[in-house]
Chains A and B, each alone.
Chain A
């Protein structure tokens, strides 16, 4: 097995990758703490739901309707019109900071935290 032959400046992109990764991590988790809520980003806008109430949400994207389910404090893509169904394979999300996305249908769901209780918000 060959050992990687590194040169001096190889360290720079490694550190930069690490730095940018940590930076985006810090930005993404900026508001941790509080009640988990589900934010769904669609081409039609952003929708916010509490995680403690079971519901279905039909998110419309360029390919059609993706069905998102919230149940027992977990959220997931129940169905999607995309080809590869990676969004469904990503499974159930329940912790603050977790996310799932359907790139072809331009839908992102992520779990964030908020100090205020929400029933449902459309932005």
Chain B
């Protein structure tokens, strides 16, 4: 199945992206090339194949699940986009949507 410009604009809307005409052309070509390549998966019988995981993920040392002080919190708040929101991250009003 090939996607057209309208399909790709609809997906871009979901991704919170707008596209110039050149970007749209590039994205249509990119996604259709991708879908053609990924169509190869149909050649395989994957019913009894487990999704991939690294064996060592079972060996990963786990730390105790408890809160710890995080010294950089004030610096991270200082680097946020809107710095005038006290101890919070500021977002535009959503009730207008």
Are both chains from one complex? no
Task: Tell me the A residues contacting B by CB distance below 8 Å.
Answer: none
